[in-house]
């Protein structure tokens, strides 16, 4: 089952998209809660909600908006951004969030990942953001010196149920995902891989599904109308890749 998952990135309480992770290249698309309702109505199987301010602040910042999204829709919501403590994890899970992503903390505090998995199992997803193969942290601002495949292998070995991998250089470009990267990850890892970054056409979706990715996060292409969500979902169904 290949999932097409709309992204709702929140900054300053608004739904935004960044270009290649640059906070100075932001496009605002309105109210996040209304966007959540829209994507649900159009058939989205789940939502990927990112607290961009939280990613930089290393703690939840737009939590009220995220909780309002959870209250407004009935489909599963996955939350990312600023997750650094068990208290934050417990808050999100108790609030009805279906999955929580751990990003920078997977590099900076591996013990936290182990503790999170011990308590919440496959509700935990590790988000790996990379540029030129290097894992980036703290809102995509700092290099880690760690290669993406090495971290992904460590996370799989730690018991993480799935990883979401974003190629920052492709993000927001709509020029196509880094297929070589995802092919390597799918081939090398024993756990599902969700792709993110660069999707701009239906062909990109088909290519990722053919590689064996579990799903893809789609942002700008949906907001700009380059990809029509109902049509994309129907195309996946026609290919036998029910979204």
List the catalytic residues: 9, 129
SS (H, E, C) the chain: CCEEEEEEEEECCEEEEEECCEEEEEEEEECHHHHHHHHHHCCCCCEEEEEHHHHHHCCCCCHHHHHHHHHHCCCCEEEECCCCCHHHHHHHHHCCCCEEEECCHHHHCHHHHHHHHHHHHHHEEEEEEEECCEEEECCCCEEEEEEHHHHHHHHHHCCCCCEEEEECCCCCCCCCCCHHHHHHHHHHCCCCEEEECCCCCHHHHHHHHHHCCCEEEECHHHHCCCCCHHHHHHHHHHCCCCC
Report d(CA 130, CA 195) in Å as an integer. Answer: 12
């Amino acid at each position: 089952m290949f999932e097409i998952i709309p992204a709702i990135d929140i900054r300053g309480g608004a739904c935004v998209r960044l270009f290649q992770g640059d906070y100075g290249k932001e496009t605002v698309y309105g109210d996040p809660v209304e966007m959540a309702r829209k994507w649900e109505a159009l058939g989205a199987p789940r939502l990927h909600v990112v607290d961009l301010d939280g990613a930089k602040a290393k703690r939840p910042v737009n939590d009220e908006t995220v909780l309002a999204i959870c209250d407004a829709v009935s489909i599963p919501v996955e939350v990312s951004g600023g997750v650094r403590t068990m208290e934050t994890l417990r808050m999100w899970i108790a609030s009805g969030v279906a999955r929580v992503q751990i990003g920078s903390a997977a590099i900076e505090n591996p013990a936290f990942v182990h503790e999170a998995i011990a308590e919440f199992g496959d509700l935990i997803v590790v988000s790996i953001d990379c540029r030129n193969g290097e894992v980036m942290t703290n809102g995509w601002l700092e290099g880690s010196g760690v290669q993406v495949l090495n971290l992904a292998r460590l996370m799989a070995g730690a018991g993480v149920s799935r990883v979401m991998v974003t190629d920052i250089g492709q993000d927001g470009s709509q020029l196509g995902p880094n297929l070589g990267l995802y092919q390597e990850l799918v081939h090398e890892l024993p756990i599902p891989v969700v792709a993110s970054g660069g999707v701009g056409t239906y062909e990109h979706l088909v290519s990722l599904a053919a590689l064996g990715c579990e799903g893809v996060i789609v942002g700008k292409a949906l907001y700009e109308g380059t990809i029509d969500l109902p049509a994309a979902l129907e195309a996946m169904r026609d290919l036998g890749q029910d979204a």
